[in-house]
Chains A and B, each alone.
Chain A
Amino acid sequence: MPTDSGTHAAPPLVELENVAKTYAVRQGSIRRSADSVHAVAGVSLSIGANEAVGIVGESGCGKSTLARMVLRLLNPSAGNLRFKGTEYGEMSRAEVQEFRSTVQAVFQDPYSSLNPRMRVADIISEPLRSTPGMTRKARRSRALEMLDSVGMPALAADGYPHQFSGGQRQRIAIARALVSEPALIILDEPTASLDVSIRAQILNLFNKLRQEFGVSYLAISHDLSMIRHLCDRVSVMYLGRIVEESSNEHFYENPLHPYARGLLGSLLMPLAEGQAPQDPMPGEPPSAVNIQPGCSFHPRCDSAFVLCSSDTPELAFRLGCEADQVTACHLYEKAEVQPTELGGRKQ
């Protein structure tokens, strides 16, 4: 479980504290900064060892920006990110090295994330090239091991990416992420480009790898059914903010925030016997330019009332929340007592 830093000996793998990312919108011939986009507006999150955290939300909610900051591919505009207790900006060279082998990523599109001119074995073993004292032969045998653990035949090692289907390529990308024995893998929409039958195979693979290697996942997705079967905790993002956070069970069984309910209601499931089709949630995923005051969801919200357009609700334990749940909605009155399970979350 996530714990407040300091109360336990081992800090979480990755910890985010009020992380924000703002982009300037430039306009006109002199490119003056006309506006700013608050892609991520103050997110706190922690991922512990052998824990799977899911972030769900529509496109443009900032979830991929968040993932890129966690991966150190982007610098935050504000807030702190820590890796095993060390600030991202204060890592030594050795720590950065350690970070890079500890935190890996699997991206959405296995067509563009694999170099078409490299053989599969070389793709998989490339992260090991910076490991001192590792021979070519040793790297190759590691690559073969990885192929085996993702359920691909050893024969695949000498093929090129174009010879494989989307599901197979995604397995190759997963093998590459696993080869440096990471503790955390960032999954950015890892099943979005896959077919239904293959998607189930890949999800099973993620769960199997978690049991075998004890890796943690930070899964970014709008696919709520994937998150259901993969993650222990779920955070719902809307316009750069987390609007609800809870355990897997309580997110799916007791969603509170109207946006969380809307997202779950938009999910199309076959064989909903006798179930009346849901009405779609109104409105478009909004743009993060010119965010209106108040709750960012209120223009789309059926239950919005006066307070919603003036006052931003904070993410907090509220009446109606389960012990491991926090939500940011005025419909639920803030409760006095902070549950212990959340360990004094800051926000």
Chain B
Amino acid sequence: MSTPLLDVRDLKTVFGTDSNPVAAVDGVSFSVDSGQSLGIIGESGSGKSVTAFSILRLLSSPGRVVSGSIRFEGEDVLALSPREMSRLRGRKLSMILQDPMASLNPVFRVGYQIEEAIRFAADGEKISRAQARERSEQLLRMVRIPEPSIRARQYPHQMSGGMRQRVVSAIALAGNPRLLIADEPTTSLDVTTQLQFLDLVSELRASLGFALIFISHDLGVIERVCDRVAVMYAGRLVESGPVAEVFRDPAHPYTRGLLQSAPDISKRVPVLDSIKGQPPDPRTWPAGCRFAARCPDQMDVCLQAYPDVTVVAAGSTSTVREVACWLHPEVATGTHAD
């Protein structure tokens, strides 16, 4: 098997002091193949954004990766110097963050901000003003902004939220990334613009061939753009697999709970299914499975030890299904794996 584009192994990222560390991400492993799209779903505080920021090495102090490895194109990301890292970001590795207004500089025209990214991506190679302008208009056209030459002369505040997020995408794509990490990019958008944006991302991925890590708390969004999904809970991955299979037949009770609490609009119900309780406090993770306290299928063993990640359906990087739950212990011994 060829090496995946991105391989994350046993990633542990902590905040807090050395004597009192708080593990926001606590042993997460996954990989993304070239051109693949992985959705990471989880509630706030589950560690999904911290995972993304760890990969991008954009954690702000006191956040730090304390163990595990992150390999991008086989290269150890954690071993790169800050200079090498910033050469990687904005080129092969790019990102779109949640709030487009915070990602854009309010005092510069959007065209200038895209040109800045183009010059950065060119890595010192001389680019004339006309070339940069042409390329930025091309990028704006690519993200379907009508009248790009007029729009390029506008400031972020003159645009709608959906339009701004597309400008941010144009900047992210300026360096022809191999991997794009999108952290809840549609949270601030309307349902109608959200759908347009998601389809745009899918089309761009098909035409440009980048891989995508899409972080969201919205199951419907993940289903729309991703091939695979990884479900995070309390700093761990509890389940991963192809989106359609995981959503049709969730193996982990938490995934099942999430699916059930997504309100169904086909009929009005007096009481919606919800997962009882709150996620655990990251300062004091429970000893056993972190979902045990809220789990309808709780067993004794769940409170004692954290279940290992087991393969429930073997396959390639794009088809394998894994789960970390004591309900699926038979493969824990490794007898089921091929």
Contact = CB atoms under 8 A, between A and B. Distances in A.
* Interface residue tally on A, bucketed by range: 35 or more
B304 interface: no
A273 B248 CA distance: 8
A224 B264 CA distance: 10
Q: Counting chain B CB atoms within 10 Å of each CB, which of A59, A165, A167, A195 scores highest?
A: A195
A341 to B, nearest CB: 19
Contacts of B279: 165
A249 B191 contact: no
A199 interface: yes
Contacts of A270: 219-220, 223, 247, 259, 262
B20 interface: no
Nearest to A252: B265
A195 B268 contact: no
Given A195-B217, A266-B194, A266-B195, A203 B43 contact: no
Contacts of B44: 165-166, 195
Contacts of B264: 225, 269
Contacts of A278: 195
Contacts of A132: none
Given A262-B192, A285-B160, A268 B268 contact: no
A90 B211 CA distance: 62
B217 A207 contact: no
A200 interface: yes
A264 B266 CA distance: 11
Nearest to A259: B192
Contacts of A248: 268
Nearest to A59: B190
A25 interface: no
A197 B195 contact: no
Nearest to A248: B268
Interface residues of B, number: 44
B142 interface: no
B191 A266 contact: yes
A284 interface: yes
B331 interface: no
A277 B274 contact: no
Interface in A247-280: 248-249, 252, 262-264, 266-271, 273, 277-278, 280
A60 B218 CA distance: 23
A204 B272 contact: yes
Contacts of A201: 274, 276
Interface in B186-241: 190-196, 199, 217-221, 223-224
B265 A204 contact: no
Nearest to B222: A270
A284 B196 CA distance: 9
Given A197-B258, A277-B224, A284 B219 contact: no
B154 to A, nearest CB: 13
A224 B192 contact: no
Interface in A154-185: 165-168
Contacts of A94: none
Contact of A196 (B161, B217, B224, B266): B217
B286 interface: no
Given A204-B274, A263-B192, A165 B45 contact: yes
Nearest to B273: A200
A71 interface: no
Contacts of A229: 263, 268-269, 272
A284 B163 contact: yes
A42 to B, nearest CB: 23
B195 A203 contact: no
B35 interface: no
Interface in A47-68: 58-60
A140 interface: no
B218 A196 contact: yes
A266 B190 CA distance: 9
B261 interface: yes
A271 to B, nearest CB: 6
Contacts of B288: none
Interface in B135-193: 160-163, 190-193
Contact of A268 (B220, B258, B261): B220
A60 B276 CA distance: 35
Contacts of B43: 195-198
B191 A222 contact: yes
Contacts of B257: 197
A251 to B, nearest CB: 10
A224 B195 contact: no
B278 interface: yes
B334 interface: no
A228 interface: yes
A263 B265 CA distance: 13
Contacts of B248: 271, 273
B107 interface: no
A280 B196 contact: yes
Interface in A206-231: 207, 222-226, 228-229
B278 A165 contact: yes
Contacts of B196: 280-282
B190 A285 contact: yes
B293 interface: no
B253 to A, nearest CB: 12
A278 B220 CA distance: 12
Given A196-B43, A284-B163, A267 B261 contact: no
Given A224-B265, A269-B220, A285-B162, 5 more contacts: A200-B275, A201-B274, A225-B264, A268-B221, A284-B162
Shortest beta-carbon contacts, A-B, top 8: A268-B220, A200-B274, A280-B195, A270-B219, A195-B43, A200-B261, A225-B263, A197-B275
23 contacts: A59-B161, A60-B160, A195-B44, A196-B43, A203-B263, A207-B270, A248-B268, A252-B266, A252-B268, A262-B192, A268-B191, A268-B194, A268-B223, A269-B220, A269-B264, A270-B220, A278-B195, A280-B192, A281-B192, A284-B162, A284-B193, A285-B190, A287-B160
